[in-house]
Amino acid sequence: MALSGFGDLLIPCTRLEIVAHLSVSEKGVRQLVRCDFREGFGPEDLSNSEHLTFETALHGDSESQPIVVFNSHPLAIASIGFPDIAVLPPYTFSEDGISISLRGVPKGISSFLALANEIMPPDSVKVVNEEEGENGPRSLLGDRQWEVVQAAVQWGYYDEPKGVSMRQMSERLNMARSTLGEHLHNAEATIMRWLVNQE
């Protein structure tokens, strides 16, 4: 944590969990987070971090209140340029360190790890090679992506004419339309790359 650029998060928090990515731009990632605050600290104190800016607190009980922040850390910005990987929420920052899970094609994972090593060298990296068996490209999708893809197929999103709109799907899944669109886009891109690589 000390060399990551996120060490100052441990001043107001004992643990910060990134729950979802709300939007992505070339300047950073808007994220939904939950934070275990130290006594005397609150959401506004997250803006004292070098790379996080507090935007708003959503409704919820005070202990698990969802908070929207903007993350401009170089690694968050750099990850945007890797279309063949997915950074899978939830991931955490705590006194034990940072735990981030990635899923994607081997070349994309290797390239991202090389970049991460330059920005903030990890203490350890665990790579699990999931062989394509019965699940095929399913093993490349995160759980939330898989849930969204299944719903889209079952509800007729890919039918002609469409059996459900993006708005209707976002309401049924209780998910922001932008998050739903990001999950679908990333899942579709991953599946298309997998199909091409099989040839």
Out of 119, 153, 171, pick the residue that ends a domain: 119
Within a domain: 128? no
What is the structure's pLDDT at 55?
Answer: 92
> Residue 132 — very low, low, confident or very high, per pLDDT cuts 50/70/90?
very low
Within a domain: 131? no
| 191 has pLDDT over 90 | no
Q: Which tokens in the block code for residue 46?
A: 């997250």
Q: Are residues 32 and 107 in the same domain?
A: yes
What is the structure's pLDDT at 44?
Answer: 92
What is the structure's pLDDT at 133?
Answer: 47
Cα torsion 52, 55, 58, 60: sign: positive
CA 132 to chain centre: 23
Within a domain: 125? no
Within a domain: 44? yes
Q: Are residues 103 and 146 in the same domain?
A: no
Which pTM was predicted? 0.57
Q: Are residues 154 and 114 in the same domain?
A: no
Q: Which residue has the tokens 């507090």?
A: 54
- 43-50's contacts with Cβ under 8 Å and 24+ in sequence apart are 43/67, 45/11, 45/12, 46/9, 46/12, 46/13, 46/16, 48/8, 48/11, 48/12, 49/6, 49/8, 49/9, 50/5, 50/8
Range of the structural domain that residue 45 is part of: 7-119
How far apart, in whole angstroms, are the C-alpha atoms of residue 111 and residue 77?
15
Q: Are residues 111 and 78 in the same domain?
A: yes
Helical H segments across 61-176, by residue range:
74-79, 106-119, 143-154, 166-173
Out of 89, 119, 149, pick the residue that ends a domain: 119
Within a domain: 55? yes
Beta bridge partners of residue 103, listed in sequence order: 86
| C-alpha distance across the termini of the chain, in Å | 42
Q: Are residues 72 and 17 in the same domain?
A: yes
Number of domains in the chain: 2
Distance set, CA 32 to CA 3, 65, 91 (Å): 24, 10, 11
How far apart, in whole angstroms, are the C-alpha atoms of residue 195 and residue 199?
7
How far apart, in whole angstroms, are the C-alpha atoms of residue 46 and residue 44?
5
Within a domain: 156? yes
pLDDT in tens, 103-114: 787 788 888 888
What CATH number does the domain containing 160 carry?
1.10.10
43-57, 83-97, 128-142 — which is least confidently predicted? 128-142
CA 19 to chain centre: 7
DSSP state of 186: H
* Residue 121 one-letter amino acid: P
Mean pLDDT of the chain: 81
